[in-house]
Amino acid sequence: MAKNSVAIVEMGLRDGLQNEKVVLDADTRVEFARRLIEAGTKRVEIGAFVSPQWVPQMAGTKEVVSKAFGLQKSGQIPKKTEFSVLVPNERGMQDAIASGVKEIAIFAACSESFSQKNINCSIDESFKRFEPVMALAKKHKIKVRGYLSTCFGCPFEGKVPEARVVKLAQRMHKLGVYELSVGDTIGVANVGQVHSLFKKIKKVVPVKKLAGHFHDTRGQALANILAAYEEGVRVFDTSLGGLGGCPYAPGATGNVATEDVVYMFHGMGIKTGLNLDKLIAIDPWMSEKIQHALPWKVGKVGPLKPLGKVAVSK
């Protein structure tokens, strides 16, 4: 990664859409990806191989991946664009392999209650499920990204002990994930917590392998991202327009808006590789598709543009 820059991982197609009432078809999702990539997006989590019975919004991920690869092959999408998919277990991994993706993501919770609610198993059982997934990934030369959810708080249990999060971060790292995304699933974190937790995690996982995943439920996401940046984190998960939320986390709103994060970093002189105006231009289209306004801030008003000098009477 270039000096004085950060990497943005776009969550809009997976984390963003999984909690929407309107289920978008494969062609619309591919068009969404194409527009994001046109705006400079280089890393896209494009879907999830999960049961459509539980997450109907992710049905058709195989078709989405196939169409996206087709655009990439024809040159309509840059070949360097990286697509990943979320997989919960060995069955999902088999689907991912068949789709031809070169990167998948696995996820574990830091709260037993959330693990049971989200994936119907204990934390230890979820790690057991990862073993065949990691073996298949190694066999097929597929990169694996790891997520830890509810790192700062759980909707069912409340506060989550830092020691538990650090232990699970180390456990995930030892599995062999190339990057670990530390998640504030319900948007409960504050700046003090972020500094404290990342300071501890850095002792067991190299900071260059860490990413931040912040939801903006309480309006703290940008401050928390800045705190993580100050701790050395240089990769952040975002979602266009603040789309999303977790269907198993009551009250949680979407991931932090990509536009808001880009605006902040560009204002600091930090490169993201993204074109803010092009990102904002996607918002009305997406709002129409999901049939409601997006909860972004920068997207509503755009960057500062002078209206022209006002005549001053003498």
**What is the pLDDT, as a whole number, of residue 304?**
65
Q: pLDDT band at 308, cuts 50/70/90? A: low
**What is the pLDDT, as a whole number, of residue 117?**
87
User: What global pTM score does this model have?
Assistant: 0.94
Q: Where are the domains of the chain?
A: 7-301
Q: Where are the alpha helices (DSSP H) in the chain?
A: 26-38, 61-73, 90-99, 112-119, 123-139, 162-175, 191-201, 221-230, 258-267, 276-290, 298-301
The pair of three-digit structure tokens given for residue 6, joined into one six-digit string: 């950060």
Q: Give residue-wise pLDDT tens across range 203-244.
A: 999 999 999 999 999 999 999 999 999 999 999 999 999 998
7-301: CATH homologous superfamily? Aldolase class I (3.20.20.70)
Contact 295, 241 (CB under 8 A): yes
Of residues 110, 121, 151, 246, which has the active-site annotation? 246
246 carries an active-site annotation: yes
